[in-house]
Structure 1
């Protein structure tokens, strides 16, 4: 650091100032270095969601593909891809409120950071212009259509993980392979014998449970919960999505099926052995924990409710738009997320 010098050279006072400054710097090197390090850490741990704006493309799909340079992955498609369907332009049926915008930005940032950490893909599907989903509540069936589109875009991706917008991944340091895929044999149920909230037929003819599961589902108090599920990229999955999206069933049943696409899949599971043979059920709290109020008739059942102490992987604010506060719930669990994951020593030491 140099002080300004006069045209006539350095006078005595300037020399004294420079000497004192050099003396101060030499005597306080460690303190200055520590202060710089602290500032770096403080800026580093500030969540990116508080600074960044989400920029959307004009196309129907904004895809962020992140690969680990350490692992040397050079594939054109990630092994696992998260899919989020959002209404980035303001909504299909109506314009979104400020809180709905905030929920969307928060959810996208949460999934993006998780994918960055593990080298997964993130497909953000913009549903704004897809008016066909708004006809007579057809919007609920968009999951099948969006999955079909994304599978065509990324034919080499093995697993697609659908997540609703009102969800948060609470344990970002855990990979989905370690948490689910590598231990399916120990956590998955191939039948509904032990948990059957809809009283579906437990057994039907011609089922082969020895087949490898291609669809991983969870159940809550109302049946199949499709806010978070995983599907493998196979010919069986493609056929299932075609049948699920088939307009014939929609036309016949859309006024009867209260839960729309959920009821459609449950009906296929109940009656089609080829469907049941490739589905496995994993514990709800493994990828789909619920907040109080989501299953109001069983509000205190540990089988459903998110537990921070037990490090549940995902929280799903399922049904929050029906008499609950979606933004309030998202804020509550985001605060828990920050306490659990944004401590500076967690980041420094990888805890």
Structure 2
């Protein structure tokens, strides 16, 4: 007989046998054991295994600008209160020296920077950041205050100061950062090509009217730290100078990039400033820089004091 529909299956499935039950139990047991073994091996490998060493971070230390770009920019914010004569001497001095070596100059007006109630001398810091923005491929930025003159045009910034071997031969190591008895001292084993900030001392401390910074991420960090609003609002007796001495002594990341050099290398003082000069820090013929210090303090006159030195400068055709 043929049915129109297949016969209906029973709704009562056969009961599992003892053999099927034992087989399923064993499989579950072995699965748990395998999981425990894998977990144990993983934990052991994490605890005692060697972790691959990440590749070292390569930091590029700039020493040479691309072709057609200046290797050094001389930065001098010129105080509008200076006499036209002094302004002219200062600007021509920088331009003549820069032309000799293929450098560029930058003369910002300090009044263009928002300093709030801080002294105008704080313009030093944003002027350097401004220069780095205008010359994005230049390795070295040479700050020189407007009371100083470059006297020896034959000396280049690189060969006279920043070349690796030269810098290692002139940097002052293991000496108090702030003379005469600061407990914080300059590092003794720094490499010249790892230095990003160079300046000299006088008897009062760090002489930040003449210094060199190498472009890089560290330079940005350093200038931002130096220009912190807290330091500008804190009534340091010597404004940005004392703020600099503070951060150099309290921040190892800054001290590790700092080189102090003898004063005659880049910041010799005139006879009128000799009482503040370090040993051999008074200007002598052939020195790179002469600094007139506080020549704008009455009864002194920057114009009268600068003129005799300006007359000794090389006369270059323009």
Normalising to structure 2: TM-score of the pair?
0.71
Structure 1 vs Structure 2 CA RMSD: 2.5
1:303 alignment partner in structure 2: 280
1:250-293 CA-partner distances (Å, limit 9, x unpaired): 22x2x2x1110010010011111111100000111111110122
Gaps in structure 2 of 5+ consecutive residues:
1-64
In structure 2, the residue matched to 1:333 is 309
Aligned to 2:179, the other structure's residue is in SS state coil
CA distance in 1, matches of 2:244, 2:102: 31
Which residue in the other structure is 1:315 paired with? 290
Q: Does 1:184 align with 2:160?
A: no
Give the deviation of 1:325 after TM superposition: 2.0
* Corresponding position of 2:190: 210
Secondary structure of the 1:86 match is coil
Q: 122, 130, 141: which one pairs with 1:160?
A: 141
Q: Is it true that 1:270 corresponds to 2:249 in the alignment?
A: yes
Aligned equivalent of 1:86: 78
Question: Contact (CA 8 Å) 1:111, 1:122: kept in 2 or not?
Answer: yes
How has the CA–CA distance of structure 1 residues 242 and 209 changed in structure 2, closer, same or farther, with 3 Å as cutoff? farther
| Aligned twin of 1:115 | 98
Residue in structure 2 matched with residue 143 of structure 1 by the alignment: 124
Separation in 2, partners of 1:86, 1:143? 10
**Relative to structure 1, is the Cα distance of residues 282 and 208 closer, same or farther in structure 2, using a 3 angstrom cutoff?**
closer
In the other structure, the counterpart of 2:219 is: 237
For 1:276 and 1:259, locate their aligned partners in 2 and report how far apart those are by CA, in whole Å. Answer: 20
* 1:173 to partner: Cα distance: 2.1
Q: Quick check: 1:294–1:320 contact (8 Å CA) kept in 2?
A: no
Aligned equivalent of 2:107: 124
1:165 deviation in Å?
Answer: 1.1
Question: Structure 1 275/302 Cα, relative in aligned 2: closer, same or farther at 3 Å?
Answer: closer
Q: Is the 8 A contact 1:221 1:295 kept in 2?
A: no
Alpha-carbon spacing, 1:149–1:264, altered in 2? closer, same or farther (3 Å): same
Deviation at 1:213, TM superposition (A): 1.0
Query: Which residue pairs with 2:208 in the alignment?
Result: 226
Aligned residue for 2:280, secondary structure, equals: coil
Q: Decide whether aligned partners of structure 1 residues 197 and 208 sit closer, same or farther in structure 2, where only a CA change above 3 A counts.
A: closer
Post-superposition Cα deviations, 1:94-137, rounded to whole Å, max 9, x if no partner, equal xx36xx2111111100110111111011112123444x33x434
Distance in 2 separating the partners of 1:265 and 1:245: 9
Return closer, same or farther for 1:264/1:173 CA change in 2, 3 Å cut-off. Answer: same
Secondary structure of 1:266's aligned partner: helix
How many residues in Structure 1 have an aligned counterpart in Structure 2? 248
* Distance verdict in 2 for CA 1:245–1:303, change over 3 Å: same
